[in-house]
Structure formats: structure tokens, C-alpha cells
Amino acid sequence: MQLSPYSIQKVSVLLPTYNEVGNIADLIEDIHSALQHPHEIIVVDDNSPDGTSDLVQSIISRGDIPGLRLETRVRDRGLTKSIWRGIELATGDTVVWMDCDFSMPPAVIPKLLAKAEEGYDIAVGSRFVSGGNQKQHAAGESRLAILLSSVLNVCLRLLLHFRFHDYTSGFIAIRRDMFQEIKLKGDYGEYFIDLIFRAILLGHSVVEIPYDCESRRSGESKTAPNIRILLKRGVKYLFVVLKMQVIRVKHLLGLRITD
């Protein structure tokens, strides 16, 4: 694929949070230090009961991190909706988002941005390419969730596009103008499968950068706080895989796949 080098003017880092009071201050600081490009950091908090928004507001008031912004959503909680809200608020030409639990090291962001500057439309932090690692089990985490995530991604590779590896990454740098064409669909991590698969079918350049996934530093997982929620999420992921087969057929027939 022919890439045209691209000069990033401004990066918008979106941080969707729900109960991340133990992580968010250090994460903001680490991201701010890691970034060489002009940037803004937008925390989109779903009115977390642990006071995440209040903490971010106090950092903004101190003025230490220029470009730090806070959006507190008070209704219709959801990860995908929060990321989409961040995209609506973003003023950078390149958008990054990631988990706010330190599972995704801020030091990887410049590597993603370097790929965007090489001309890739999308650069994804990946646990499943050579050099990357899925997280090890740690206290308070679900072994089942970690195992299912690895198995799910092998299945997704077989069922969708074999050249891509981490369909549930959620760690991405992407040009903001892509969202004129593609919207985020779904309510939790399944939006990522949909986004990547559509982007690949549409011929966008997508690259994966390996990273070592760490255990959450503080607080609780929202994907797998218990088996019931994990299974509920799993069913939604399976529906998306089926939907992607419909999308594949539509694409083969030359029909629009961006609605």
C-alpha cells in the first residue's frame, strides 16, 4: 500500500473513565510528558461515583497541564458513547484513545503517532503481534477474562481479516477525518472490531504496534467485574462477528458499509 507522509498538527488524547480516581492523575501526567506534539487531553468521565471528575477538575484548576479538558457525562453511560463524545469535542487532526488503568503504557503513544506520520490512517497498540504481550494474571483480575480475550482474538482473526491481530485492543491513533466516513457502533469494546474491520474493507491503511499489556494499577475492571457481565459482553461480541459477515457480503456486492 502506498503511504503519503503526514505531518500531525495537534493530537487529541481521549481518556474515557469510569471510576479511575486511583489512576487518572498519574496517567494524565505521564501522557503529557510522553507527547512531543502539540496536544490536548480530554477526559470523558461518566460521572464516576469515586470522584474522578472532581480530581480532573482540580488538576485543570491548578493549570499544570495546559490543554487538559474534562467532559462529565451525566446520563446514558457507556464506553463507546464516551469515546464518540470525545471525538466530537476533539480539535486535533489526530485522535488517540486508550484505557485509563495503565494497562496501556503512555510511552507507546509516540510510536503510534510515528506510524500516523508515516501515513497510516490507523495505528493500533497490539498485544498479539510479535513483541507484544497479553497481560499476566494479577490479584483482583479475572483469569477467565484474560483467557477469553486471547481466544476471542484468534477466532476473530480466522473469521475476519487474518492479517490483523488485536481486534479488541482499544488503543489507537487515528486521523480525525476518518470519522466523517466511519462512526463508532456498539456500546462496549465490540465497537473496536467493527471500526477496524470496516476500515480494512474500505481500504484504509492499518498498522499494529506491539505493546506489553500491564495489569490494571488501581480500581476494578469494567469488562469483567463478574462472570455474568463478562458473558453478557461476550454475547455482544459474537453478534458483532455475525454482523461483520453481513458487512463483508455487502462490501463484495458493492453496497455501502458505512451506514
Ligand X SMILES: Nc1nc2c(ncn2[C@@H]2O[C@H](COP(=O)(O)OP(=O)(O)O)[C@@H](O)[C@H]2O)c(=O)[nH]1
Q: Which residues bind Mg ion (CB under 5 A)?
A: 99, 101, 103
**Interface pick for ligand X out of 46, 121, 166, 190 (rule CB under 6 A):** 46
Give the integer Cα–Cα distance in Å for 218 and 203: 39
Q: Which long-range contacts (CB under 8 A, 24 or more apart) does 51-54 make?
A: 51/21, 52/17, 52/18, 52/19, 52/20, 52/21, 52/24
Q: Which long-range contacts (CB under 8 A, 24 or more apart) does 177-183 make?
A: 177/93, 178/121, 178/122, 178/204, 179/87, 181/258, 182/258, 183/84, 183/258
Helix (H, G, I), strand (E, B) or coil at 11: strand
Smallest gap from residue 230 Cβ to Mg ion (A): 13
Smallest gap from residue 33 Cβ to Mg ion (A): 21
Establish if 71 lies at the interface with ligand X (CB under 6 A).
no
Q: Are 211 and 126 in contact (CB under 8 A)?
A: yes
Residues in 125-184 at the binding interface with ligand X, rule: CB under 6 A: none
**Interface pick for ligand X out of 28, 69, 96, 101 (rule CB under 6 A):** 101
* Binding partner at 232 among Mg ion, ligand X, none, C-beta below 5 to 8 Å by kind: none
Give the up-direction half-sphere exposure of residue 40: CA atoms within 13 A in the CB hemisphere.
19
Q: Please identify, using beta-carbon distances, which residue of 118 and 220 lies nearer to ligand X.
A: 220
Q: Which stretch binds ligand X (CB under 6 A): 109-117, 190-198, 214-222, 238-246?
A: 214-222
Give the residue carrying C-alpha cell 464518540.
84
Smallest gap from residue 103 Cβ to Mg ion (A): 4
Establish if 69 lies at the interface with ligand X (CB under 6 A).
no
Q: Under the rule (CB under 6 A), what is the footprint of ligand X?
A: 16-18, 20, 44-46, 77-79, 82, 99-101, 103, 216, 221-224
